[in-house]
Chains A and B, each alone.
Chain A
């Protein structure tokens, strides 16, 4: 029921070259891509980046309708962006670039979440932030919090789905358009969710303590995510496009 509407952490379990990439290289590529996208200020370059994203989307082998689902949720936001920019007399070219940026960011981040299990993303983030340890930032604590939060997303979705079903049996209509009914529905979902989540967090903390979990001790990772040729290749492709764009901007 609820799973159909939640796109967060929806890993699509198939095999493709993008799926097999190291999560760290995927995160690095995503960051470079975001910088790239915000530096491109003309239609020609945005068009080229669009072709590049389409190529990557096709390489993932994930059905296009899954990407379409993610894009569909943007329609209201895109509508508002267009209307507000038209009100302020912004050029058509700029509006198109703004809308394309939004669409491309959603598509690219969907590539990351659809081809990487949430736990692997956490691993990638932990590796990415490792240098921050040198300046005293508790990366391992942050990684643990993030990892636990991501691990609990399916549990929380299941729980929300269960509570929604139970409240539906008691007459709550979650699809209603009336604001008052929407608020009652929200309350009936939120309060049990908070109470149950706090209880679960408490039990989890106790069970970790019982198993002598120590946050300060040094840990190794059980994953063997190897950096392959394709990771270097993709990172080089992204970096090259970024460098070319910077040179073009400087020369212009």
Chain B
């Protein structure tokens, strides 16, 4: 599914004294069937970008192509429901939007809104539950009584029932413990590898992204200052720090070894591999 930003700009509270330009002449092409990440400081416009993909907000300049849909200023989007169906957006703290008394009602709510038949709803709910690794006993439970990790899974399930082609996560790790984070990593990888979904993640948790993403866009000063695969982006430690963006601890460590000892270590995803490298180097 093609997602392309062409010279997109966005101004909050346009034409008022509170006007604030957050994006200017932005050009992005989201890589299909990959895990894409958008990183940047708070307030840099990351959430604005993802809300525009779903046409929740409309750019003030430029245009966005999402499959056959064209999102541009002052133009009505025909069949916007279909766009929302194809692009699932999971907000920060999605569990705060629960309003039904059971998990089943919460998950099936969107499908009922789109007038799906009961059989189809039940089938989709069960499939989506299976995808996130929850069993059917959860269906009768009250969503407000679940643990934060489980709540997050239910919130994700309520979007997965639509079977969207693109799934967008806004700060998915906020409020999660390390075990839940690892489960989330497994889930997102499975969504990409097994179900061939295009994933877009907005997060400041660079350690989480480092374990997961394929392609990264770095947002600063209203535009993309750096993009590439995770190795290309995270190796630019100085540039990232210059723009106030953190780097994964594992990269920070290898960078320090290079700066202080002059030893260049290889790029490693896992800490155990790095330790092996160091051991080899020492012995």
Contact = CB atoms under 8 A, between A and B. Distances in A.
A191 interface: yes
Q: A-side binding surface: helix, strand, loop or mixed?
A: helix
Given A171-B84, A192-B99, A14 B113 contact: no
A192 B84 CA distance: 21
A124 B267 CA distance: 61
A196 interface: yes
22 contacts: A1-B57, A3-B13, A13-B17, A14-B17, A162-B91, A163-B96, A163-B97, A165-B56, A165-B89, A166-B91, A167-B97, A169-B54, A169-B56, A169-B84, A170-B113, A171-B113, A184-B113, A188-B99, A188-B109, A192-B96, A195-B96, A195-B144
Contacts of B159: 169-170
Given A1-B56, A12-B17, A14-B17, A169 B99 contact: no
Given A14-B17, A170-B113, A165 B98 contact: no
Interface string A164-192: 01111111100000000000100110111
A193 to B, nearest CB: 9
Interface in B78-100: 81, 84-85, 88-89, 91, 94, 96-99
Contacts of B97: 163, 166-167, 188, 192
A195 B144 CA distance: 10
A70 B56 CA distance: 25
Nearest to A14: B17
Interface in B104-142: 109-110, 113-114
B158 interface: yes
Contacts of B89: 165-166, 169
Interface in B219-242: none
B158 to A, nearest CB: 7
B259 interface: no
Contacts of A187: 99
A172 B113 contact: yes
Interface of B: 13, 16-18, 51, 54, 56-57, 81, 84-85, 88-89, 91, 94, 96-99, 109-110, 113-114, 144, 158-159
Which 9 A-B pairs rank lowest in CB-CB distance, beginning with the nearest? A171-B113, A191-B99, A170-B110, A166-B97, A169-B89, A166-B91, A171-B110, A165-B56, A171-B114
B155 to A, nearest CB: 9
B96 A170 contact: no
Nearest to A4: B13
Given A166-B91, A170-B158, A13 B96 contact: no
A192 B57 CA distance: 22
Contacts of A167: 97
A33 to B, nearest CB: 26
Given A166-B91, A167-B97, 10 more contacts: A3-B13, A12-B17, A14-B17, A165-B91, A168-B56, A169-B91, A184-B113, A191-B99, A192-B96, A195-B98
Contacts of B16: 12
Nearest to B158: A170
A160 to B, nearest CB: 11
Given A12-B17, A188-B99, A171 B81 contact: yes
Nearest to B99: A191
Contact of B51 (A163, A165, A188, A190): A165
Contacts of B54: 169
A166 B159 CA distance: 10
A172 B19 CA distance: 29
Nearest to A199: B96
Nearest to A168: B56
A166 B96 CA distance: 10
A246 B204 CA distance: 65
